[in-house]
Chains A and B, each alone.
Chain A
Amino acid sequence: KQEVTQIPAALSVPEGENLVLNCSFTDSAIYNLQWFRQDPGKGLTSLLLIQSSQREQTSGRLNASLDKSSGRSTLYIAASQPGDSATYLCAVTHGANNLFFGTGTRLTVIP
């Protein structure tokens, strides 16, 4: 069964710092990988989607990479801001129409 792991579970950084969040998955037979943001007590918002044939996607200060063969993805956040504080989750599409989620990284950006 597909398992998705995110490290670290929590991260605190000063404002302005660049940071990297990690995601790993056990089965490389995925269709795509998505990164989501979740604010406390709210639903998830999709940030980036990388197809299995792609290596990376960029949106503003966010860059996500995918190494399918090694089962790894990273989310790079440049010049972090306090408004970036949230939980970030990655998920892979594996099987017909199902997402497997990691447990998330809780990010705090300190002003």
Chain B
Amino acid sequence: DGGITQSPKYLFRKEGQNVTLSCEQNLNHDAMYWYRQDPGQGLRLIYYSQIVNDFQKGDIAEGYSVSREKKESFPLTVTSAQKNPTAFYLCASSMSLSSGNTIYFGEGSWLTVV
């Protein structure tokens, strides 16, 4: 089935530890995105990539890093520099949004600091 797969669903991070969230899509979409969702705050853009080997910072990129080595993969690393990482993380992909294409989301990953 076509879609976006995020893993793991639940992840626990210790203080000072880096963790990586996986996102894979088989929709042949050019653009991929990472959003963070906190209660009552909607979705905020962390990073996005419109093409392989290129990505741009979103509104809250500090403490996060990404790579886009393959079209279908866009992993997100939450570094120890991110002081409040506990949140729900959503990966998404699309063709050009300005051309009226729909964005598709994965099922999300819960990250908790312990």
Q: Give the interface of A toward B (CB within 8 A).
A: 4, 9, 31-32, 34, 41-46, 49, 51, 89, 91, 93, 96-99, 101-104
Q: Do A31 and B98 have beta carbons less than 8 Å apart?
A: yes
Q: What chain A residues lie within 8 Å of B96 (beta carbons)?
A: 97
Q: Are A46 and B42 in contact (CB under 8 A)?
A: no
Task: Tell me the bound Cα distance from A107 to B100 in angstroms.
Answer: 27
Q: How many A-B residue pairs have CB under 8 A?
A: 62
Whether A46 contacts B106 in the complex (CB less than 8 A), given A98-B45, A98-B97, A101-B42, comes out as no
Given contact pairs A31-B97, A93-B97, A98 touches B106 in the complex (Cβ within 8 A): no
Which listed residue, A31, A41, A43, A46, touches B102 by the CB 8 Å rule?
A: A46
Chain B: CB-nearest residue to A54: B100
Contact in complex: A44, B105 (CB < 8 Å): yes
For residue B103, CB closer than 8 A to chain A, the reply is yes
Find chain B residues with CB under 8 A from A4 CB: 42
Name the B residues within 8 Å of A96 (CB-CB): 50, 98
A104 touches B42 (CB 8 A): yes
CB of B15 closer than 8 Å to a CB of A: no
Within the assembled complex, what's the spacing in Å between the Cα atoms of A32 and B96? 12
